[in-house]
Structure 1
Amino acid sequence: MQSDMLVAATESLPEQRPGGGTLLVGYGAVEELTRFAATPGWTVYAPGHPAEVRRIMLTAVRRGQRAYVHVSAESNAEPRCAGDGFERVREGLGGVVLAVGATLDPVLRATTGLDVTVLYTTAVRPFDEIGLRTAALAADRADVVLVEPGLPGTSARHVAETLVHVPHRLLALGGADARDEPALGRAVRDFLG
């Protein structure tokens, strides 16, 4: 069975790239996502829905970006409008949960009933420092749970640097942990409880 995310990626590849950038697509390799996220000069995306894959790839080509697009077999039920930064999906005061790409639906289900702000993004790099700082400062506690499709801690350094002057705690989850809803719910509740 083909992944809708992979089909969307292959259908979105332009024949010619007028912007002159580099567009690489990776499928399911979290180590590769982590490597590109740590390499300076790359724009790194992890879309959470086939419609987001199409939009991201066309935008990257139009901008002439040096971009890596990570697609996986999982996807969220609905596309979001997140551009290059964090989209506020749910408001709360008890902390901030950052969901990247296809981790959004499991995060929303795992945090049902919790008083937390849920932020969503498809852009792993560049990291939206302003969006995170704004959400963290609006909460009663600046505690952050980072849920990424890559290896745990892929963006932990960026969270720490963004909140360097804000007292906070960080829980970094990734890979299989990001898709295991019961474990994700327990981890978030234990950390923010």
Structure 2
Amino acid sequence: MQSEMLTALTQTLPDLARNDSLSGGSLLIGYESAQEVGRFAARAGWSVHVPGHPDEVRAAVRKAAAGTGQAYIHVSRHSNAEPRAAADGFEMVREGRAGVVLAVGATLDPVLRATAGLDLAVLYATTVRPFDAVGLRTAVLAADHADVVLAEPYPRGTCAHQVAETLVHVPHRLLALGDEDGLDGEHIARALRDFVR
């Protein structure tokens, strides 16, 4: 059975071609190609998008196709239950003081389940390049502890370097979780219990 995420993608691309909405930029899309995210994230000049809901897939493809830059969109078979409003940076989904969890794409729902009842801020990202350094730094400085948990639906630590650069002058701890860690609510909750002070 085809996932809703893939269906959203296959419905959006022909519409763009029919309406002549493709610009002079480069648009590459990977489905369940987690290893490719790091490759494109490391390339200068590329934007990397990781939508977490079918509506977000449609919006990301349309926006990237209308631009003139180079964009890579990672589409997973997993999705969040509800779409979030399109944001240029990281969106604060839940406020908290004990640390910050950055949930990328379809990790948001399991992160919200795992952090229920915990005093943790949850940021949501559908774009990881460019990296929203201001959004992350603001959330971390507002917390009582500079503890950051990074939940990414691709190899662990893909954005760890950006977190370290963002917080270079802020003593902090980082826990990076990736698809190899089993990103369901139970696994994330167990990792959080071991990490959060």
TM-score by length of structure 1 reads 0.96
- How far off its partner does 1:18 sit? 4.3
Ranges in structure 1 where 5+ consecutive residues have no aligned partner: none
> Which residue of the partner structure matches residue 163 of structure 1?
167
> Which residue of the partner structure matches residue 3 of structure 1?
3
Question: Residue 40 of structure 2: which of 33, 36, 39 is its match?
Answer: 36
CA offsets 1:66-92 (integer angstroms, 9 cap, x no match): 111100110000000142210000000
> Which residue of the partner structure matches residue 132 of structure 2?
128
How far apart are the structure 2 equivalents of 1:96 and 1:116? Answer: 6
How far apart are the structure 2 equivalents of 1:35 and 1:49? Answer: 23
Secondary structure of the corresponding residue to residue 122 of structure 2: strand
2:189 is matched by which residue type in structure 1? G
> Which residue of the partner structure matches residue 140 of structure 1?
144
> Which residue of the partner structure matches residue 97 of structure 1?
101
How far apart are the structure 1 equivalents of 2:53 and 2:140? Answer: 26
> Which residue of the partner structure matches residue 181 of structure 2?
177
Contact 2:156–2:180, Cα closer than 8 Å, also in 1: no
How far apart are the structure 2 equivalents of 1:172 and 1:179? Answer: 11
- How far off its partner does 1:38 sit? 1.5
Contact 1:9–1:25, Cα closer than 8 Å, also in 2: no
How far apart are the structure 2 equivalents of 1:39 and 1:178? Answer: 27
> Which residue of the partner structure matches residue 65 of structure 2?
61
1:88 is matched by which residue type in structure 2? M
Asked whether 1:108 is paired with 2:112, we answer yes
How far apart are the structure 2 equivalents of 1:94 and 1:31? Answer: 32
Asked whether 1:27 is paired with 2:31, we answer yes
- How far off its partner does 1:17 sit? 4.5
Ranges in structure 2 where 5+ consecutive residues have no aligned partner: none
- How far off its partner does 1:173 sit? 0.5
How far apart are the structure 1 equivalents of 2:115 and 2:182? Answer: 13
> Which residue of the partner structure matches residue 189 of structure 1?
193
2:191 is matched by which residue type in structure 1? A
